[in-house]
């Protein structure tokens, strides 16, 4: 399979770069967002970037399905391949001029994400992986950290309030007591920090598929794990955890409130 994924990986990298360049034209310009039904922000940059990505996919892979945050899902009845896209992950950061937002593309094949790209336009960073092809940050191979004890772990998160809102308050309290540091470097950037060995754990008690589409192959190829809160690899559980792999069993013990040895 790896040789057959090179074309798709290169396409995803180029597409993310072009979409990211488009977003930079709106970044730190005082852009005022609209509000969706759930009160989350959306901007013209989100919409135009997703339109660009969709147009490129439709030209290059007309038989592939598409799931995107802003324009929903195309008819995927007979499709074995589906692109999962978030044109701007971290729109709140984007609107506030914080450079940690990302363009996310994942390619799901027969239900498994095999290609993933997370591009951070304002940082000039591109994290890309495909099954069997490794994980690279700006073209250089990267690997998760070797930290093996929770007391030495750096744990990332997006919004502390979401742990209580989605039933993870007690687990979050235990994790805070167990870890070395809990830092709010959130959204896609937190997962990227784990994949590149700069943090050990990223926690999301709430997660849409488009918010994490590229991360299963990115974390796996970097030597880590991308799972739900029970340790199953998926982007469809509406929750997510990235780890460096070595800490996943110990993290799950803390989440389940089991004694560690």
Q: What is the CATH number of the domain that holds 22?
A: 3.30.540.10
**138 class by beta-carbon count within 10 Å (0-12 exposed, 13-18 middle, 19+ buried):** exposed
Give the structural domain span for 16: 2-141
Residues whose CB falls within 8 Å of the CB of residue 222, separated by 6 or more in sequence, listed in order: 129, 135, 142, 143, 144, 195, 196, 197
The predicted model scores a pTM of 0.95
User: Does any domain span residue 193?
Assistant: yes
User: Does any domain span residue 261?
Assistant: no
From first to last of its 261 residues, what are the pLDDT tens digits of the chain?
555 899 999 999 999 999 999 999 999 999 999 998 887 899 999 999 999 999 999 999 999 999 999 998 987 678 899 999 999 999 999 999 999 999 999 999 999 999 999 999 999 999 999 999 999 999 999 999 999 999 999 999 999 999 999 999 999 999 999 999 999 988 999 999 999 999 999 999 999 999 999 999 999 999 999 999 999 999 999 999 999 999 999 999 999 997 654
How many other C-beta atoms are found inside a 10 Å radius of the C-beta of residue 182?
18
Q: Let me know how long the chain is.
A: 261
Is residue 119 domain-shared with residue 168, that is, in the same domain?
A: no
Residues forming beta bridges with residue 240, ordered by sequence position: 204
User: Does any domain span residue 77?
Assistant: yes
Q: What is the CATH number of the domain that holds 243?
A: 3.40.190.80
Is residue 88 domain-shared with residue 129, that is, in the same domain?
A: yes
What whole-number distance in Å separates Cα of residue 190 and Cα of residue 200?
10
Q: How far apart are the first and last CA of the chain?
A: 40
């Amino acid at each position: 399979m790896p040789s057959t994924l090179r074309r798709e990986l290169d396409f995803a990298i180029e597409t993310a770069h072009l979409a990211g360049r488009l977003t930079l034209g709106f970044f730190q310009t005082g852009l005022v967002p609209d509000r969706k039904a759930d009160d989350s922000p959306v901007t013209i940059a989100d919409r135009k970037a997703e339109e660009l990505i969709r147009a490129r996919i439709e030209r290059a892979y007309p038989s592939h399905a598409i799931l995107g945050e802003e324009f929903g899902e195309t008819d995927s009845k007979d499709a074995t391949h589906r692109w999962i896209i978030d044109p701007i992950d971290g729109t709140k950061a984007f609107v506030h001029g914080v450079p940690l937002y990302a363009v996310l593309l994942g390619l799901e094949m027969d239900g498994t994400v095999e290609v993933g790209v997370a591009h951070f336009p304002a940082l000039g960073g591109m994290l890309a992986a495909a099954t069997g092809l490794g994980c690279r940050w700006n073209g250089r191979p990267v690997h998760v950290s070797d930290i093996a004890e929770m007391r030495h772990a750096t744990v990332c998160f997006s919004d502390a309030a979401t742990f209580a809102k989605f039933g993870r308050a007690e687990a979050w309290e235990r994790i805070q007591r167990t870890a070395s540091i809990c830092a709010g470097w959130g959204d896609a950037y937190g997962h990227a920090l784990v994949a590149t060995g700069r943090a050990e754990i990223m926690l999301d008690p709430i997660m849409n598929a488009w918010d994490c589409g590229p991360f299963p192959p990115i974390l796996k190829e970097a030597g880590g794990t991308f799972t739900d809160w029970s340790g199953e690899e998926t982007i469809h559980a509406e929750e997510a955890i990235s780890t460096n792999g070595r800490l996943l069993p110990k993290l799950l013990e803390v989440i389940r409130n089991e004694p560690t040895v």
